[in-house]
Structure 1
């Protein structure tokens, strides 16, 4: 009787069976890595702006309060970006003829707003309220990182649902005292006052009966 299988057939069969198990697992692992990488989430990316604004210089070296430019952060869902006249409050006096500020001067002369590009972007189906967070003790640095060290603004966090839920499950880990909410310093440098504020807020959330992990908290 002629031989139906060659001597290496058993090896090929074993390799095929192994591939059936390994290839799908490898694809799932690759998909998981890609979806969590900065290429997908945007973490670490820089967005080109009409003017190369430096938080390192303004918030770090000059120690300008976040609220001077982002005036809506305590009162509205959006933090807002500064109008041209806010920039010109200083730059009508200093660096008035700097080439990099030409778009700011053109905006002031024409009355057309500066076309700043969003760095941190959430999907349209996600509701995020800035003032609800900062007024309850979440510091700017918890989401935006230490902007004092950013010559150009980058996205400091993945902004994924899992990342948000990590905070909502344990909000006390990030809450700071009232006088530190608008510091650009990392919130991890926690003081006794920060821990007291976190404990008070955690107790208040528990007494309110609200669950920060409910879908309706962010998806409205």
Structure 2
């Protein structure tokens, strides 16, 4: 009876199976690495804006509170992007002829809104409410980083589901006094956690926050 397989067939089969396993493992590592990379999370990336607005200048330099421009952050799901009239409150008197502010003046003249591009955003299928986070004392820096140190706004956090779940499952360390949520420098808390460790736990009880329910799918996917 003729031999169907050559003597080396078994070796080739083993080699192909090994190669397939290596390719699969490499693919998993590649995908995992990509998902954690800045190319996927966009952490540290900036976006082109109609005006090169500097949070560093306006927040740290001039001391403007976040809520001055983001007017609905305390009362609605969205923080709100600055309307032209907010910009012109100051720039009708200062830097009135600055070339970089031409889009603002044109927006006012034509009565058309500035087309700001969101830097920090969750996917469209995710429900997020700014006001509830502000009311419970989650400070702006938790999600947006030290914007007072950003000449151009960059994404500070990945806004991936695991990142959100980590906070939902243990919100206490991220809670601060609600009347100070726009404060940028929390180094006295971060560098001395032993002095403030009880605050978050007390606020979780005071607000009736139930972390066991905050990772339910319906909280964010509605």
Which range, TM-score by smaller chain? 0.7 to 0.9
Tell me, yes or no, if the aligned pair for 1:59 and 1:184 is still in contact at 8 Å: no
Q: Please give the alpha-carbon distance, in whole angstroms, between the structure 2 residues aligned to 1:205 and 1:217.
A: 17
TM-aligned CA distance change 1:70 to 1:61, over 3 Å: same
1:71 corresponds to which residue? 71
Tell me, yes or no, if the aligned pair for 1:137 and 1:197 is still in contact at 8 Å: no
2:82 corresponds to which residue? 82
Cα offset for 1:121?
2.1
TM-aligned CA distance change 1:207 to 1:64, over 3 Å: closer
Q: Please give the alpha-carbon distance, in whole angstroms, between the structure 2 residues aligned to 1:193 and 1:88.
A: 43
Cα RMSD of the aligned pairs, angstroms, is 2.6
2:102 corresponds to which residue? 102
Cα offset for 1:210?
6.7
1:21 corresponds to which residue? 21
In the TM superposition, what whole-angstrom CA distance separates every residue of 1:63-92 from its partner, at most 9, and x where no partner exists?
211011111111111100111111111111
2:221 corresponds to which residue? 219
Q: How many pairs align?
A: 218
- TM-score between the two structures when normalised by the length of structure 2: 0.87
Q: Please give the alpha-carbon distance, in whole angstroms, between the structure 2 residues aligned to 1:194 and 1:110.
A: 51
Gaps of 5+ in 2: 1-5
Establish whether residue 200 from structure 1 lines up as the match of residue 202 from structure 2: yes
2:3 corresponds to which residue? none
The 3-state SS of whatever aligns with 1:78 is coil
Cα offset for 1:115?
0.9
Q: Please give the alpha-carbon distance, in whole angstroms, between the structure 1 residues aligned to 2:186 and 2:29.
A: 32
In the TM superposition, what whole-angstrom CA distance separates every residue of 1:115-172 from its partner, at most 9, and x where no partner exists?
1111122222110000000110100000000001111111111101111001101101
- TM-score between the two structures when normalised by the length of structure 1: 0.88
1:147 corresponds to which residue? 147
Cα offset for 1:215?
0.9
